[in-house]
Chains A and B, each alone.
Chain A
Amino acid sequence: MRELLFLALKNLQRQKSRSLLTILGISIGIATIVALSALSQGAMASMERALQSNDFDFIVAKKGSADLILSYLKPKQVAKIKKTPGVDAIAEVLYWMAPVEKNPYFLLQGINRRGMKLALGEPSRGRWPQKDDEIMLGKLAAENLSLEVGDMLKIKEKNYRIVGIFATGVAFQDNGAVVLLKTAQQAQDLTETVNLVGVKVASGFSVNEVAEKIEQDLEGEVVAIVNLEDFESIDQGLKITQGFSWAISFLAVIIGAIGVMNTMIMSVWERVREIGILRALGWSRKEVILMILAEALWLGIAATITGSLLGLGATELLMQVPMISAFLQPLFNLSIFIQAAVVAGGVTLLGSLYPALKAAGFSPLEALRYE
C-alpha cells in the first residue's frame, strides 16, 4: 500500500497545475465549511455563555419574535411575571443600538437598577450606574475606546460618565455598555418597554414549574427560555443562519466532487494505455482501483490542509471587521477539522469512484492497442 501511495503521488505530480487546481477547488468548499462551522459554533458557545453568565434561571421574551431584540414586553406583563409565586428577583432588559465613535452598532443594554447584579454580576472596577447620565462599559469596549472609570463618553449628543467596568466573558456584552433601563427607554422613545425579563427562582421552587406557570398565566403571549434548545427554538436568525450555512456547505461539497470527478476522468482517459500496461504486467483490477483511489486520497489530504488554512484565514480576516468581531467570535475545535477531513475524503472518494471503476474495466489488450 505504501508503494501504491507513492506511485499515486508521482502520478499526480505529472499534471501539477491540474492537481493543484483540483485541490484548490475542493479547498474552497472545505474552507467554507470550516469557516461557517467555526462561526456557528462560536455563536452557539457565546449564546451558551450569555445564558450562563448571569444569575437568571431563565429568561422570558415575547412569543413568536424572530430575535430577542424584536421581543417587546409591556409593563403589565412584567408585573405579572414579578408576582408569580416562586419568582425571587427579576432583571428587566432593553437593548439599545447606538453609534459610538467609529462603530455604528454599539450595543448598549438598559437594565433596571436592581436587576444589574443579577444580569451581570459584580463590576470588575467601579460600580453600577445609578443615575441617568452614568454608564458602565464592557471590558473590551473600554479597551477599544481607551477609556477608564471617570472618563466621559458621548452617545447621541449626550455625555455619560463612566462609573464602572464589567466583564461577563460574553463578546457582545463585553464589547458593549450598560445604562439604566430608563435611560435606554427614553433614548429610543420606548418608555415602558423591555425586550426581556431575566428571572431568578426562589429556593425550594422548581425552575421548570415556575417557567411553565408564567407561560400559562400570560396566556401564551410569552415564552420562557430555560436552556439553549429553547433559545434556538425562538431565535429565527440562528435557524436561518444554520440553514444557510448547510446549503452553502452542501453546494461546496457537490462542486468539489464534480471537480474531482472531472479531473480523475480526464486523467484516467489519458492513461488508458498506461493502465493497460499495468494490467499486462499482472496488476489486478483491484490494484488499479486502489491506485486511482490513492490519488484521490492525496487530493483529499491536501485539500483538508489547504482548506482548513483557508478557512482559518478567512475567519481571521472577517474578525478584522470590528462590527463583526464584537458579536461573533469563531470557535475552532478538533471536530471542525475532523469534519473537514471527512468531507474532503468523502468528496474525493465519491468523485473518483466512477473513474476508478472505469479504469479497472479497461481490458489490458484494448488498452495496449489504444493510441
Chain B
Amino acid sequence: MNEKPWLVVNQVYKDFDQGKIKALRGVNLSVKKGEFVALEGPSGSGKSTLLHLIGGLEQPNQGEIRVGNFIVSEGKNLDHYRRQTVGFIFQLHNLLAHLNALENVLIPTIGSKTPLSQRRERARQLLIRVGLEKRLHYRPPQLSGGERQRVAVARAFINQPQLILADEPTGALDTQNSAAVLQLLKELQQEARTTIILVSHNPAVTAAAERKIKIIDGRIIEG
C-alpha cells in the first residue's frame, strides 16, 4: 500500500542572521496522510525551525513545502491555513491566563461562522475527552501542568485540523503526565486520521510514533 505523500518538504533551506546561521540545509521529507511522525535530534539541530516552516509561522529561504494541495512556502493565506489545517501544541502550554479552559479552547474558533453553541459543545466534548470535565471553568493558574497541556491539546484539535504540529509537548511534564498526553494524542490521531509531527529528544516519547526521523545539523537522517 504505497499512498502518495500528503505533506512534502522539498529541498528546504533556512538561514538566520543574514546567512551566518544555517538552521536547515536542504531538508527533504514526505509524510502520509494520518501518519504519526516523530522528529528527533540534538539541541540546535533545526527541529523547531522545520516545524515552524511547516506551520507557516516562518518562510524558508529556499525550497517548497506543500501540505495537501496547499503550498505553504508561497506565503499566502497563512492565517487561514493555520486556523483550518494546523493545530499547534507548544512545549509551554501557551494558554491565556485570564480565560478559563473552555474559553481557551474556543479561541481558535473566534470569527467562525459555526454557531457559538455548536462550537462550545465541541470544546466541551474535547475537554471531556482529555479528562477535564470537572475543570471546564478553571483558569490556567488553577490547573496543574499536565492539565494545562491537556487543555492545549484540546485547543489544537478544536478546528478539526488535518495536521498537528507538536514541539516538545511533554517537555515540561513528568513521566506519568507525559504518557497520558501522548496516549491522548495517539487516540485523537487515530479517531480523525490526523497527521502528527511531534518534536522531542526523549526516546520514550518518540517511541509512540509510527516513524522516527532524525535531524542533525539541519539535515535529515532517516531513522
Q: How far is the CA of A11 from the CA of B98 in the complex (A)?
A: 8
Indicate if the CB atoms of B88 and A10 lie closer than 8 Å.
Answer: no
Interface size class of B (residues with CB under 8 A): 20 to 34
Are B94 and A282 in contact, with the CB atoms below 8 A? no
Residues of B within 8 A of A2 (CB): 116
B134 interfacial contact with A, CB 8 Å: no
Say whether A277 contacts B110, CB under 8 Å. no
CB closest residue in chain A, given B111: A287
Which of A4, A11, A364 has the largest number of chain B CB atoms within 10 A? Answer: A364
Which A325-340 residues have a C-beta within 8 angstroms of B? none
Q: CA of A274 to CA of B96 in the docked complex: distance in angstroms? A: 7
Which residues of B are at the interface with A, using a C-beta cutoff of 8 A? 52, 55, 57-58, 79-84, 86, 88, 90, 94, 96, 98-99, 103, 106-108, 110-111, 116, 155, 159
* Contact residues in B for A4 (Cβ distance below 8 Å): 110-111
Say whether chain A's binding surface is mostly helix, strand, loop, or mixed: helix
Do A10 and B116 have beta carbons less than 8 Å apart?
no
Q: How far is the CB of A238 from chain B (nearest CB, A)?
A: 51
Tell me, in angstroms, the Cα distance from A280 to B103 when the chains sit together: 17
CB pair B52 A3 closer than 8 Å: no
A3→B90 CA distance, assembly (Å):
25
CB < 8 Å: which of B58, B83, B98, B99 contacts A282?
B83
Contact between B108 and A364, CB atoms less than 8 A apart: no
Residues of A within 8 A of B79 (CB): 279, 282-285
Whether, in the assembled complex, A301 has its beta carbon less than 8 Å from a beta carbon of chain B, the answer is no
Can you list 19 A-B contacts (CB < 8 A)? A4-B110, A10-B98, A10-B99, A10-B103, A13-B98, A273-B94, A277-B96, A278-B107, A280-B57, A280-B94, A282-B81, A282-B84, A283-B83, A287-B111, A365-B52, A365-B57, A368-B57, A368-B90, A368-B94
Inter-chain contacts of B55 with A (CB < 8 A): 280
Contact partner, A277, options B80, B86, B94, B159, Cβ 8 Å: B94
- New contact pairs (15) apart from A280-B55, A283-B110, CB-CB < 8 Å: A2-B116, A4-B110, A7-B110, A10-B99, A280-B82, A280-B88, A282-B79, A282-B82, A282-B84, A282-B108, A283-B79, A283-B83, A283-B108, A365-B57, A368-B94
Q: Chain A contacts of B82 at CB under 8 A?
A: 280-282
CB distance from B198 to the nearest CB of A (A): 17
In the assembled complex, which residues on chain B have CB atoms less than 8 Å from the CB atom of A281?
82-83, 88, 107-108, 155
Answer whether residue A158 sits at the interface, using C-beta atoms and an 8 A cutoff. no
Binary interface encoding of chain A residues 254-286 relative to chain B, with 1 for a CB under 8 A from any of its CBs, else 0: 000000000000000000011001111111110
Q: Does A102 contact B (CB under 8 A)?
A: no
Distance of A287 Cα from B109 Cα, bound (Å): 12
Range, interface on chain A = 20 to 34
Q: How far is the CA of A7 from the CA of B94 in the complex (A)?
A: 17
Q: Does A156 contact B (CB under 8 A)?
A: no
Cα separation A285 to B80 with both chains bound (whole Å): 11
Binary CB contact string for chain A from 8 to 52 against chain B (1 if under 8 A, 0 otherwise): 001101100000000000000000000000000000000000000
Partner of A14, one of B98, B108, B159: B98
Would you list the 8 A-B pairs with minimal beta carbon distance, nearest first? Answer: A282-B83, A282-B82, A284-B79, A281-B108, A3-B110, A14-B98, A365-B57, A277-B94
* B124 CB, min distance to chain A CBs, angstroms: 16
Min Cβ gap B96→A in Å is: 6
Residues of B within 8 Å of A273, CB to CB, are 94
Residues of the B chain whose Cβ atoms lie less than 8 Å from the Cβ of A282:
79-84, 86, 108, 159
Given contacts A13-B98, A277-B96, A281-B83, contact A3 B116 (CB under 8 A): yes
Alpha-carbon separation in the docked complex, A282 to B159 (Å): 10
- Determine how close the nearest CB of chain A comes to the CB of B64; give it in whole angstroms: 20
